Structure 1
């Protein structure tokens, strides 16, 4: 709740330049949010895009200011009975989610810190949390039940916002079609809103011992309910390519797939937030044994990047023609000058027209690669904890701070 008249009158007496000097010394985003809620003049100032860009000048220069850090785990809690019993008895998880800030991160300086430094622990439940995805300041996790039967029969997911401290635990999703193969996740937001309470979650999964078709489930945080699952393609015939976290573009979540024999071309699964309308289409793009992933270009087109040794090629979706057909064209072939980093490591879609690369070999680090400019900027060195052994998880935590403030506080400033 925003403070009233007396505080407003005192705040008006301070010139904008003085307030700029004050806010520029506030150590974290959360503290700046608290300042905005102190009085109406400060609220109006901290929802003014021009002032925000002045406060955070990096917002207008490139993409690095969006990356606040990484949430990571070096291991996941095992799926078997022994793992569940062992960790229930010992009352701790293999590796609780941990946050590593980038240099100068507005989510707070310093070294590694637990997720529960930002979000209330909910009676220890977050000690049994597995990272799934992150998008625009919201983190999606799976909460592990304390019994093997509940783990087999139910999926419990949680959304949290480390900046505001909000969290939302969904009711358990109990469905025989899930089985153990849950490998696709998406976070979608209502247009013009980034509030956690208005988010939607998509989950894909299939049971290889039952109906082998992949099923798509949709969850609405506003309604606190799961939808009836949508039946998609045969889960045993197609494999997920690239990231488990969907690429969201114009309100649709997209995942890449390849055929079981890997001799075919790529396929794309697309769905809107309710999972009622889905499509599974074959693409004119062949499969290569190298990192392949979806991203959104700077001109807001869905694109696919394939990294192979010292070369990257980029395919971009074109606008629909008069008959409603969509074509894909190879728009970039880039000879990468950072060849010693191109083997191994991890790649992520990052911002529009950029990719995020992690390498810890000699001379490695964390890089943002701007595809249109063909420029690679180093963010920081790459700690070994971010390049896990295949059993852990690492998700970049990024947010457009000016957009975040406008969406979080804009309604209050107009009130």
Structure 2
């Protein structure tokens, strides 16, 4: 850079530094793209403090607007097979054969490195988290089931003990929840973790946190029981113990046989789980405020079992529940929305229908010319408009629900037999990331 160019750059920098804060704030509010805004914020401490300010963040993401744009998928958690040559292998009793690992998506906020769950928490017992099973995640919080061998679980009062923990990856804190007693079949149960942003702000502010918890959260469990009917369990970080379980009864014949996937979707004040029945597929729908539970039939299996993967619940950018139906074989994605139930003459709500409102053609990063020539994709999960896909050759992709554009990334050795039940997508909130990262300056 010659002297004249250097002088001009210094003059421009000085001009920017003399701008009043209100002017800089208005400029930053108009920056297009969340990632670009974050890059601006880390340019200097002054801009960092402006962007991290609560009033700025509320204006950037007002309640009920831009919710989808404010969240993104940073990666996924899944079990990784270990061997003695693995740097994360630890001796002990019992010798761990698997550990839960985080696999970042391309350009993840956590960087490109795959890492164990335990590596996020300096003060936590690594053995406690290595065997933890990820259940569900939302807005930077991850709910895990702790290994009974190292979590002081077992039997108490004649009942099995289940230990869960909420991992706050941004804060680097793992909050172990009180013991849960009961005959829970945890692998067939459904889970949700809700943040203060999901619940009403007034209730989150009125109820102070119990000692030992890093943030406000609620945990909901639709528990399939080894003995007895399904039950609802709830826990809040503002309470000292789990709620008394509530037995659940259902109108349809046979009730439910269990949840198809451990994690739920959250949409417009309601939580939805995909559940198994003897023939049709149902969603179990819970109101977050009242805990009232209802059911909606997704679709009859004869309509998809020959030509499509299992239907999966998702959420549109405007908060509307969706059903995603992936062709088998092929690259066709059907996006179905729910037709509003209409009341009949006697006041009973008629059965809602799911209508195919759009079909998206998935676009691989290159022409797939391997054998077999037919392309078989499996949908491993979806959050914030991003799908995680796996093909029959163990390649994995992220894909945009709206455009169908697919991007391949490497699946390392040790991640054997990945399926929808083993994978939990980790969704983060740009607002929480800004506060966490910029607040440290």
Q: TM-score, normalised by structure 1?
A: 0.70
1:377 counterpart (406, 411, 417): 406
Q: CA separation in 1, counterparts of 2:58 and 2:225?
A: 51
* 2:107 corresponds to 1:104: yes
Question: CA shift at 1:293, angstroms?
Answer: 0.6
Partner Cα separation in structure 2 for residue 268 and residue 132 of structure 1: 18
| Residues 101 and 165 of structure 1: CA distance in aligned 2, closer, same or farther (over 3 Å) | same
Give the corresponding residue for 1:282: 297
Instruction: Give yes or no for the alignment of 1:366 onto 2:397.
Output: yes
| Among 151, 156, 165, the residue aligned to 2:163 | 156
Q: Does 1:356 align with 2:388?
A: yes
Q: Name stretches of at least 5 consecutive residues in structure 2 with no aligned partner.
A: 1-15, 28-34, 83-89, 205-212
Name the structure 2 match of 1:139.
142
Counterpart residue number, 2:234? 218
The alpha-carbon deviation at position 73 of structure 1 amounts to 1.0
* Residue of structure 1 in register with 2:12 after alignment: none
Deviations 1:86-125 (A, max 9, x none): x99615533222222233322134x322222222353342
Whether the aligned pair in 1 keeps the contact of 2:285 and 2:293 (CA below 8 Å) is yes
Tell me which of 93, 96, 118 is aligned to 1:116.
Answer: 118
Task: Answer whether contact 2:269 2:289 (CA < 8 A) is retained.
Answer: no
Q: Deviations over 1:197-224 (max 9, x none)?
A: 221111222334x21x211211112214
Using the TM superposition, give the Cα deviation of residue 44 of structure 1 relative to its aligned residue in structure 2, in angstroms. 2.3
Q: CA RMSD in A?
A: 4.6
Report the counterpart of residue 254 of structure 1 in structure 2: 272
Aligned to 1:267: 282
Larger CA deviation: 271-280 vs 287-296: 271-280
* Per-residue Cα deviation, 1:282-325 (whole angstroms, up to 9, x for no partner): 34554533232100123321011122312433321245657766
Map of 2:210 onto structure 1: none
1:44 equivalenced with 2:50 (yes/no)? yes
Residue of structure 2 equivalent to 1:306: 325
Q: Counterpart of 1:74?
A: 80
SS in 1 for 2:154: helix
Q: For 2:192 and 2:396, how far apart are their aligned partners in 1?
A: 27
Change (3 A) 1:65 1:243: same
1:130 corresponds in structure 2 to: 133
1:247 Cα offset (Å): 0.9
1:127-170 Cα distance to aligned partner (Å, 9 max, x none): 33221122221111111233673496111111112122122111
User: In the comparison of the two structures, how many residue pairs are matched?
Assistant: 361
Distance in 2 (alpha carbons) for counterparts of 1:238 and 1:394: 23
Greater share of residues in helix: 1
Q: How far apart in 1 are the matches of 2:117 and 2:242?
A: 26
2:379, 2:420 within 8 Å by CA — same for their partners in 1?
no
Q: When the two structures are superposed, what TM-score results if normalisation uses the length of structure 2?
A: 0.66
Question: Which secondary structure state, in structure 2, belongs to the residue aligned with residue 225 of structure 1?
Answer: coil
User: In structure 1, what is the equivalent of residue 432 of structure 2?
Assistant: 404
Q: Which moved more, 1:42-51 or 1:114-123?
A: 42-51
Listed as ranges, the matches of 1:304-343 within 5 Å are 304-309=323-328, 310=330, 311-319=332-340, 326-334=352-360, 336=362, 343=376
**Deviating more after overlay: 142-151 vs 153-162:** 142-151
Distance 1:395-1:44 versus aligned 2 partners, 3 A rule:
same
Inter-partner Cα distance in structure 1 for 2:249 and 2:180: 21
The 1:150–1:303 alpha-carbon spacing in structure 2 relative to 1, beyond 3 Å, is same
**Unmatched runs of 5 consecutive residues or more in structure 1:** 1-11, 21-27, 54-59, 77-86
Pair 1:256–1:103, CA change in 2 (3 A): closer
Q: Distance in 2 between matches of 1:14 and 1:394?
A: 50
Q: Which residue of 2 aligns with 1:206?
A: 224
Q: Which has the larger radius of gyration?
A: 2
Query: Retained in 1: the 8 A contact 2:261–2:421?
Result: no
Q: 1:285 to 1:63 in 2, by over 3 A?
A: farther
